[in-house]
Structure 1
Amino acid sequence: MEFDSGKQQQNYVIPQLKLVASIVLCFILLSPAEAFDPLDPTGNVTIRWDIMSWTADGYLATVTIFNLQAYRNIIYPGWTLGWTWAKKEVIMTMVGAQATEQGDCSKFKLAIPHSCKRNPEVVDLMPGAPYNMQYTNCCRGGVLASWTQDPTTAVSAFQMAVGKSGTSNKTVKLPNNYKLLGPGPGYSCGPAKLVRATVYPTTDHRRKSQALMSWNVTCTYSQFLASKNPSCCVSFSSFYSDTITGCPTCACGCQNNDTCVKSDSKLLKLPEILNNTKKDNIPTTPLLQCTHHMCHVRIHWHVKVNYKDYWRVKIAIINFNYRQNYTDWTLVVQHPNLNNVTQVYSFEYKPVLPYDSINDTAMFYGLKYYNDLLMQAGPQGNVQSEVLMKKDKNTFTLKQGWAFPRRVYFNGEECMLPPPDSYPFLPNSAHQLPINISIMTACIILMLFSIW
């Protein structure tokens, strides 16, 4: 009897667990935002430490930061790199960067270290730093372009002399608790891992030098960790409809009206309101224009013209943050017809997945010295361009909202799209259902299977 009772309980518990798992899976499938980025699955920031030589009680190291993310920039105020020493190490000297705090160096009487903090934080130098403080790929204020946009400015480096650390591969201990801060939260770093020593080219192309010891740290970005709400939203319009589909209400959260200002507010004429900064000139909190969506940035996609063999789209990016200029911004759009881009008029353009079998994603960014800087909210707080695409005769249609993008990212953040049933539709066309039918059907079948 006991055996039968246990078997009955097991037969009851297993279907319940399956049902719970099915419901959780459905929520994941229907979630509008994802920690895993399907458009940049391997994107990361890699930090490489190379010991170049040994000193009396430590080593000379070159630290290089590679922004290997396809379209996410490290924007102003730039990167801040932190870690915790494994022993009692100190930073004796540093070029190309500086520690934010010196710490307690009272034990040192002759050569005073650059920083004695057990958990130092290091920032890049600003442009125009003294020549004797500069290092290769330094001094851009910590701003890094995305790897797709410009690999030459996606790298930053500095050099430092570390003391009290050990003077051999066996006595040096790898730092831990790495942190990548600066432009905001969202980055998490793994542990340092020893790798094959880096080989460096020399001025003599026939010779190469090699680091004595190397290790890597990999940091990845999660929009979930960065903020519970997105920072941008998307609106739609078209030539064939008078309907303008605006951003969803509270797309970026419903803050209190005290945290935003109207575009005609007299407060905007007060310098202390716009320039609410810390000592290092880094804005503390955003100051948003009061809107129904309360987003920092809105992207508008307008289907402008339908030719015989081509169609044209106008894209506008509008800034609603009075305390933020977006330098070297990026816009990523996923749409099936972006594999046939014919001309982009006032933005730069690159495919994000040029070697993928489905090339349906494009990255746009501003022309250098022309519209690469998206000014703060106001008359100059917008940039615009038009994109001409050749029609794919097998798939092109203006029905059921096909002409509008599937995903939109601004500066690496996924933007909130309007619900599909609100898209501008052709006259007398049926509205597309707001939830993906295939996903919902899969969820229902999965739950029924669990109950059976």
Structure 2
Amino acid sequence: MTNAFILLLLLLLVFLNSNGSEAQNKTQPRGPKAPVAKPKAKAVADPDALPPAAENCNGVYISYEFHSRKKEFPHVKNVSAQSWAFNATAVVLNTGREILKRWKLFIKFQHDEILVNVNGGVLFDGEDFPVSVGNGTHIVGGSNADLDTSINTANDLTQIQAEIQISGTQFGVRTNGIPMPKTIKLENDGYKCPPPTTKKSSMWACCKRDKKSKLKEKKTKYLPRQKGDLTIAYDVQQAYDNNYNVEVTMQNNNPLGRLDHWNLTWEWTKGEFIYNMKGAFTREIEYSGCVNGVAGQYYKDMDFSKVWNCQKKPIISDMPPEKINDTQLGQIPYCCRNGTILPTLMDESQSKSVFQMQVFKVPPDMNKTSIFPPEKWKIMGILNPDYQCGPPLRVDPARTPDTRGLDATVIGIASWQIVCNITKSSKRSTRCCVSFSAYYNDSVVPCNTCACGCDDTDHCNPNAKALLLPPEALLIPFQNRTVKTLAWAKLKHFHTPKKLPCGDNCGVSLNWHIASDHKGGWSARITLFNWETTPFQNWFTALQFKRRVGIGFEKVYSFNGTFLPKLNHTVFMQGIEGANYLLGIDNSSNPKVPGKQQSVISFTKKFTPGIKIPKGDGFPSKVFFNGEECSLPTQFPIGNGNPHNNVDLVHALLLLVLPFIINHIMY
């Protein structure tokens, strides 16, 4: 009983205590809650935040960031031969007070890189992907060629920064290595870059204005037109919302530059197409690309059968001469010459070509000011130098005289310039070659083996040295010289390999023959051979010599000759009027007879008394035909040092006298 009573009393006390606590909670005013400890949030990186080096740069900040790489097939054990796919980003950021015009970034790659794609910029040389850049490459802006300042744009990164996404292949990198370029550099005039800082997968530098560089005052918004071996102007003359009219002008500025039957190509980047042309034509009249593309969806009522070309990469050629007065296709100054562009030295009126186009656009670029020139320009001829063209760069608008006879100047709507320079291509062989001969040596040193390439090497040795020839063999095609060559080698006791060397395979060859040498001067004979069926009209050839031998030039007897002292002492020759046509090969004869022209050239020793013609001073170090640099022999005929004799009298007399001397000594 007592225990039960005590238990009941305890339960009652617990009940009363709990009710009191609840009442206290309901009536007591709420105070500040005790702070609850929370885990610290991780800091989120600002996507627009710039690296400290960029924040502190007063000039132009450039960087290269390596992201990743992956082993490509095939997998090989040789580390230097293993290829890797890589991705990287380059940045050009204007952090200064001046607008950066035509930014140009150089990346010195060093792992035999091959680029397969570049976004945010274009390769300066305009090469198609994939392109080998193992020795470095220049990247310039396409649509963002100029970078404004932060002050002018309220720090709008889209206007002051160029971000270039790079992907490609590289070789010879260890598995745990970080393949960085050797250096990066801004190559704009007036800027000076320090050696870049490299930290793991990042490389950066702050390029500043060179205080010693004087800035020219710019009176226009765009930079003036630049110089180059060949310049192409893209001048917009009329602009509408959905199309514009443009004139394209190609100007030859190099005295040794030339184009025959030129073909011009580019790449449209915004879906444009050529609706009409005058002064030139596209090699293919194609409009299916428009019908099946964006243009067909937008221009639903357009008759695309009247469109000239809808290809992304059209090939354009000059009109033939008979179209020069055609009201629909011609009547454009400097057009219609079958694609011939001569040096100004030969004919200034034929040193440029012009044509006009009507270009239609597609959405979203449907306003008068939304005009983008094509990119990746290339131009080539049939036997001419190679040209490497840069990207189209915005320049001052074209200025032309008023066509109504008023004393006024018409300023165009917009202009771009493409600068092309002559380059020696490593991707192809030359297309002409030279042989050497002299009066003091019976044999002719022929053109080099495979001078212009070799396609079939099963029956000949492409690496063997060319065999010496008898003079008459020069008139025979290289395919038919075997019998004469072997007979000459047997007669002269020359070594002949089991597998004979291949021919030169050149369409044009030249022979330089030393004809005479005396105390006051010397003479040579040059012969041009055309082994192609296509004739060459208004041809020219040019020669350059070592030791300034060319300054002794006197006269060319059957050609027109000019000495160009400011161009490496070049002797420039062309056919005289009425005889400036180098005919093609005559296929009706057996063996075939090449088209040929020949002349004698005289030189004086008045200004070069120390030259030694039989020792090789009379042979040119460079020979050009229609602008193409020809392959030269690796040796030249050797004489006995006596310019007045064709027989080695010194050795002959020595053989006669030596027995008598020995006999006198012994007895």
Report the TM-score, using the length of structure 1 for normalisation: 0.70
Shift of the alpha carbon at 1:62?
0.6
From 116, 131, 135, the equivalent of 2:326 is 131
1:102 counterpart residue number: 286
1:9 corresponds in structure 2 to none
**Aligned equivalent of 2:551:** 339
Q: Hey, what does 2:316 align to over in structure 1?
A: 122
Q: 1:350 is matched with which residue?
A: 562
Show CA shifts across 1:342-377 (max 9, x none). 21112222344x435xx5212212223313334236
Partner of 1:329: 539
Alignment match of 1:90 (pick from 273, 281, 291): 273
Alignment partner for residue 387 of structure 1, among 601, 608, 613? Answer: 601
How far apart in 2 are the matches of 1:293 and 1:61?
Answer: 44
Are positions 1:59 and 2:244 aligned together? Answer: yes
User: In the alignment, which residue of structure 1 is the partner of 2:407?
Assistant: 206
**Any conservation in 2 of the 1:240–1:426 contact (CA below 8 Å)?**
no
C-alpha contact 1:101 1:117 (8 A) present in aligned 2: no
User: 3-state DSSP class of the match of 2:425?
Assistant: helix
Q: Is the 2:319–2:336 Cα contact (8 Å) retained in structure 1? A: yes
Q: 2:397 touches 2:414 (CA, 8 Å); kept in 1?
A: yes
Partner SS state of residue 349, structure 2? helix
| Corresponding residue of 1:34 | none
The partner residue of 1:143 within 340, 347, 366 is 340
- 3-state secondary structure, aligned to 1:128: helix
1:298-447 to structure 2, matched below 5 A, reads 298-321=509-532, 323-335=533-545, 336-352=548-564, 354-355=565-566, 359-376=568-585, 378-379=592-593, 381-391=595-605, 392-420=607-635, 422-426=637-641
1:341/1:102 CA distance change after superposition, 3 Å: same
Is the contact between residue 186 and residue 225 of structure 1 (CA under 8 Å) also seen in structure 2?
A: no
Aligned identity (percent) is 28
- In the TM superposition, residue 162 of structure 1 has moved relative to its aligned partner by 1.7
| Alignment match, 2:104 | none
Indicate if the aligned counterparts of 1:97 and 1:125 stay in contact, CA closer than 8 A. Answer: yes
Number of residue-to-residue matches in the alignment: 358
Change in Cα spacing, 1:374 to 1:333, as seen in structure 2 (3 Å) is farther
Deviation (angstroms), 1:293: 3.2
- Structure 1: which amino acid aligns with 2:314? P
Question: How high is the TM-score relative to the length of structure 2?
Answer: 0.49
Deviation at 1:291, TM superposition (A): 7.5
Pair 1:214–1:242, CA change in 2 (3 A):
same
In 2 relative to 1, CA 404–233 (structure 1 residues): closer, same or farther, beyond 3 Å?
same
> Is the CA contact (8 Å cut-off) linking 1:59 and 1:167 kept in structure 2?
no
CA contact (8 A) 1:54 1:167 kept: no
Instruction: Provide the rounded CA distance (Å) in 2 between the counterparts of 1:379 and 1:261.
Output: 12
Which runs of 5 or more residues in structure 2 are unaligned? 1-109, 111-226, 461-476, 482-500, 587-591, 643-647, 651-667
Query: Whose relative contact order is higher, 1 or 2, with alpha carbons under 8 Å and at least 6 apart?
Result: 1
Structure 1 residues 52-107: Cα deviation after superposition (integer angstroms, max 9, x where no partner): 122352221111112333223212xx222222223232222211112223222433
Query: Alpha-carbon deviations, 1:86-135, whole Å to 9, x = none?
Result: 32322222111122232224335345433233333222111101611111
Q: Which moved more, 1:57-66 or 1:412-421?
A: 412-421
- Higher Cα Rg, which structure: 2
Q: Deviations over 1:269-290 (max 9, x none)?
A: xxxxxxxxxxxxxxxxxxxxx9
SS at structure 2 position matched to 1:115: coil
Distance 1:47 1:168, change over 3 A: farther
Q: Give the match for residue 442 of structure 2.
A: 242
**Structure 1 stretches lacking a partner, 5+ long:** 1-20, 22-41, 265-289, 431-452
Deviation at 1:193, TM superposition (A): 0.3
Distance 1:254 1:383 in 2: 27
Whether the 8 Å CA contact 1:223–1:413 is kept in 2: the answer is: no
Q: In structure 1, what is the equivalent of residue 49 of structure 2?
A: none
Q: 1:60 to 1:44 in 2, by over 3 A?
A: same
In 1, Cα distance between the equivalents of 2:351 and 2:480?
A: 36
Separation of aligned partners in 1, 2:240 and 2:649: 75
Structure 1 Cα separation of the partners of residues 308 and 380 of structure 2: 21
Spell out the pairing of 1:188-337 with structure 2 (5 A cutoff).
188-202=388-402, 204=405, 206-225=407-426, 227=428, 229-256=429-456, 262=479, 292-321=503-532, 323-335=533-545, 336-337=548-549
